[in-house]
A and B are shown apart, each in its own frame.
Chain A
């Protein structure tokens, strides 16, 4: 489904802030893989997701989605392949537009935007049904401005938008990191539900190692722009947080000294 072949990206070339964020990274995801991504700060997790989404062009390498080379496609053209949820709940929705308008934008992802009505009556029933599944009471507030919603509500809505038109790839960039633990749990449960139901191929970056182990069928660990550990199936299921910390030490030759990650357990 997704093939990343040796992509590299260096930011701020030629300045003191030069930083190689991705270093000849390769990754192949099979259809239906739900892969969690962990790693310290600056390991390149979000950078990898942004490279796949086409936020900027990569320096070298190739990205293939569903057999199509998308390396040269701009971000908005790649959008037809993928649904995305960002870390910041403010990023995934248009605050000044209504809930139904946001959903209608998402329903048309990948399609041509014409002079037909931006939202049709029959869509509203679909939106109400889907929103009621979130269990947040949003189904009665179709025309409310998204800016009035809480971070958790916005994130759940973004998740719904990302999967409304079945994406070939779902990119989740620490999408629960900015939420309180209870809301984060709720959004993670919804994530699991949506991914399983539509049998989606997904990449989920997380700081929480327990979540990374518990969710999905595959786990990769990143360090300095590369994948240093890739595990799936039974082996992954039986992992413990201690195993991961040890693996990190072995593969990188460093202590996994990241407060945030330790605390997140």
Chain B
């Protein structure tokens, strides 16, 4: 039975949903970056927890110092690229395990982000600056200014660009590196270089996403990237769980990651709406991602028939 109270509550939820979609799309760009390292390169790259904030910090600071929005976004992208390069060099040239390399860069980036911003948080006024996206541009703005539409277009363009890239000679060699690096080297592929390149590409997307996110929420914060890797993984996993059986093409797989991110934020919004303590959201995300990561392992361990032993050995 719907009384006035539940109707008011439901209206509140529906009013919040477009915002969740916008946020989901913006985080979707980050999740695509995570997909590149986690699925294509087979590296769990924790740099993203830092590089997301770096993207936001660099973008906001460049705008506050009077730079054009596009220059600021490009600056954020390049900063992310640099962060990825550091992780890549730690991993390949210095031989540090990928996870640890990412953690080291992430830790270092915390200081970098503080220094870039000069303090822990920098706000930007949507009325005084020409922002590309904002939570104020969800409703009651001309179509071309609508954040959801704009970010959706950006996501599609990025997917098209990545689809093209991973079809080139270089892109194919990157995929081979992630799939079987021994084979890749035997085919003359410089796997170390490719890993660095992949990490740079991934983190440039993550920082770009951070730049959009800080504009959207109106501030950059030194903690904004905390747990980003988990959200990215959640998006990848949700996307694969929902669309994995029908989407086989690489571009569609990237699209499913972005959709996974949207689903994540819709669920997030519902959880908030249901009045669950938001302090618990991070542990909830962690548990959900942990269970989903465990499923393929459990499947192979408990639900498969023993493989036929082949060969003469």
Contacts and interface: CB of A to CB of B under 8 A. Distances in A.
Given A94-B176, A105-B172, A116-B169, A79 B310 contact: no
A117 B311 contact: no
Nearest to B172: A118
Interface string A92-128: 1111110001001110111101111111000000000
Interface string B205-225: 000000000000000000000
Nearest to B39: A96
Interface stretch (A11-19, A129-137, A174-182, A239-247): A174-182
22 contacts: A53-B186, A74-B190, A79-B188, A86-B182, A90-B180, A92-B186, A93-B180, A93-B183, A94-B175, A97-B179, A105-B184, A108-B188, A113-B173, A115-B168, A116-B169, A118-B168, A151-B310, A177-B312, A178-B311, A178-B313, A180-B311, A180-B312
**CB-CB nearest 10 A-B residue pairs:** A79-B188, A118-B172, A94-B179, A178-B311, A113-B169, A109-B188, A75-B185, A113-B170, A94-B176, A115-B168
A141 interface: no
A177 B172 CA distance: 30
Contacts, number: 105
Given A77-B188, A151-B311, A178-B311, A105 B173 contact: yes
B171 A118 contact: yes
Given A97-B172, A101-B175, 15 more contacts: A79-B187, A79-B189, A91-B180, A93-B180, A94-B175, A94-B179, A94-B180, A108-B173, A113-B173, A118-B168, A151-B311, A177-B311, A180-B311, A181-B312, A184-B312
A97 B175 contact: yes
A84 interface: yes
B85 to A, nearest CB: 19
A111 B171 CA distance: 14
B126 to A, nearest CB: 38
Interface in A168-207: 177-181, 184
A96 to B, nearest CB: 5
Interface of B: 165, 167-173, 175-176, 179-180, 182-191, 310-313
Nearest to B165: A115
Contacts of B186: 53, 75, 79, 84, 92
A5 interface: no
Given A108-B169, A116-B169, A117-B169, A76 B188 contact: yes
A97 B176 contact: yes
Contact of B183 (A92, A104, A114, A260): A92
Contacts of A236: none
Nearest to A208: B312
Contacts of B185: 75-76, 79
A179 B312 contact: yes
Contacts of B189: 76, 79, 105, 113
Contact of B184 (A94, A104, A184): A94
B253 to A, nearest CB: 11
B312 to A, nearest CB: 6
Contacts of A117: 167-169
A237 interface: no
Contacts of B179: 94-97
B307 to A, nearest CB: 11
Interface in A55-80: 74-77, 79-80
Nearest to A184: B312
A206 B191 CA distance: 29
Nearest to B310: A151
Contacts of B176: 94, 97, 105
A119 B169 CA distance: 7
A251 to B, nearest CB: 26
Contacts of A116: 168-169
A113 B186 CA distance: 14
A179 B309 CA distance: 10
A178 B311 CA distance: 4
A93 B310 CA distance: 18
Contacts of B167: 117-119
A68 B188 CA distance: 17
Contacts of A80: 188
A76 B192 CA distance: 10
B220 to A, nearest CB: 33
Contacts of B180: 90-91, 93-95
Contact of B310 (A94, A111, A178): A178
Nearest to B42: A96
Contacts of A94: 175-176, 179-180, 183-184
B170 to A, nearest CB: 5
B187 A114 contact: no
A93 B173 CA distance: 12
B167 to A, nearest CB: 5
Nearest to B191: A76
A115 B161 CA distance: 12
